[in-house]
Amino acid sequence: MRIDNTFGIEAQCHELITYDSEEALREVLNNIHRRHEGLPVLHVGCGSNLLFLGNYNGIVLKSGIKGIRLIKETGDEVLIEVGAGEICDEFIAEAIHRGWYGMENLSLIPGQIGAAAVQNIGAYGVEVCDVIKEVKGLSLKDSSEHLWKRDECKYGYRQSIFKEELWGKYAITRVTFRLSKHFVPKLQYGGLVKAIEQAGLTESTLTAELLRQIIIGIRQAKLPDPKVQGNAGSFFKNPVVLREKAEQLLSMYPDMPHYPAEEGKVKLAAGWLIEQAGWKGKSLGRAAVHDRQALVLVNRGGATGQDIQRLCEAIKKDVAERFGIELSPEVNFI
């Protein structure tokens, strides 16, 4: 059975199973252990951050757990439990409609809520871990339920405990968010401020819905629609380097984009590095670097996962040789 993925890679699996509740997932897992003992199990969302290097010789699970539940409300904030199978962007739209704020900058990032919690998605100065209170999941081994408080999730830049030591061991079932009832825009990124000014808005006239629409417009202008051209959005993480390394590079490239990171470190723009290395708009077989955003690798049609991987390795090699920086993929290779 074909596994859906936004890269448009042709990948088959032994069996694809969608479930719509914790009880249904437990039943599915019991059947797998009884009938298919030994077969590997992979849990996916919308396949928006996966690169299949070939067929998956195992069982693929996908969450269909829906629901948005108000747990607690005060004068300033709300706690909202969301099913892992909800589409993240649809929840953001609903949250804004209900007057719950904090996720506007993540608008139009593809994928389900569960995958967002695993990947720690982020954009324009906001990461989803900023608003996560806790995450629930079931063990793929014994169906036991587990709850992780935010600090237990070990969130970092596009990292979490679910991508490291717990990778492939749990299915996320529900995520609880702590959202504000007061809209306070986060406008750290210069490109976002410029877009707001071009729209004739100021921080005082900006609303959450207007900010969402501006961010959607920015993303649509520079990122290809995966329904038209296969891609997984940003393919590489923006590298975080020691301040000394950043200063060395800035002495050679004064216009190099750079942003403050944790103490003693600086975040660089992977897309800029790739473009400077000459890869923007270039192809390697059926795999290519997008011509408007060098951070995005695309399937020009008929590419395999290995084609994309070869392009990835070629880019990494050239960036390392030119800048002395090792790029790391944001995408999960399967």
Q: Which structural domains are found in the chain, ordered by start?
A: 13-63 (3.30.43.10), 68-180 (3.30.465.10), 230-333 (3.90.78.10)
- Is-catalytic flag, 292? no
pLDDT tens for each residue of 260-282: 888 899 999 999 999 999 999 99
3-state secondary structure of 174: strand
The pTM is what? 0.87
Report the C-alpha gap between 167 and 238 in whole angstroms: 22
Rg (CA), the chain: 20
Q: Indicate the angle between helix axes 208-222 and 190-198, nearest 10 degrees.
A: 110
Residue tagged active-site, from 63, 107, 160, 234: 234
Q: What is the pLDDT, as a whole number, of residue 262?
A: 84
DSSP 75: S
3-state secondary structure of 82: strand
The DSSP bridge pattern shows strands 50-51 and 332-333 to be parallel
- Is-catalytic flag, 310? no
Burial code of 88-116, b = ≥16 C-beta within 10 A, e = fewer? bbebbbebbeeebbbbbbbbbbbbbbbbb
Chain centroid to Cα 309, Å, comes to: 19
pLDDT in tens, the chain (334 residues): 888 899 999 999 999 999 999 999 999 999 998 887 778 999 998 888 899 999 999 999 999 999 999 999 999 999 999 999 999 999 999 999 999 999 999 999 989 999 999 999 999 989 999 999 999 999 999 999 999 999 999 999 889 999 999 999 999 999 999 999 999 999 987 688 889 999 999 888 999 999 999 999 999 988 888 888 999 989 999 999 999 999 999 999 999 999 888 889 999 999 999 999 999 999 999 999 999 999 999 999 999 999 999 999 999 999 999 999 999 999 989 9
Q: How many CB atoms within 10 Å of residue 74?
A: 8
Sign of the CA dihedral running 162, 166, 167, 172: negative
Length of the chain, in residues? 334
Residue tagged active-site, from 86, 158, 160, 212: 158
Q: What is the pLDDT, as a whole number, of residue 1?
A: 82
Q: What is the pLDDT, as a whole number, of residue 92?
A: 98
Q: Which stretches of 40-177 are DSSP H helices?
A: 88-98, 113-119
CA 40 → CA 59, 118, 129, 131, distances in Å? 6, 19, 29, 33
- Is-catalytic flag, 234? yes
What the block records as the tokens of 44 is: 């996916």
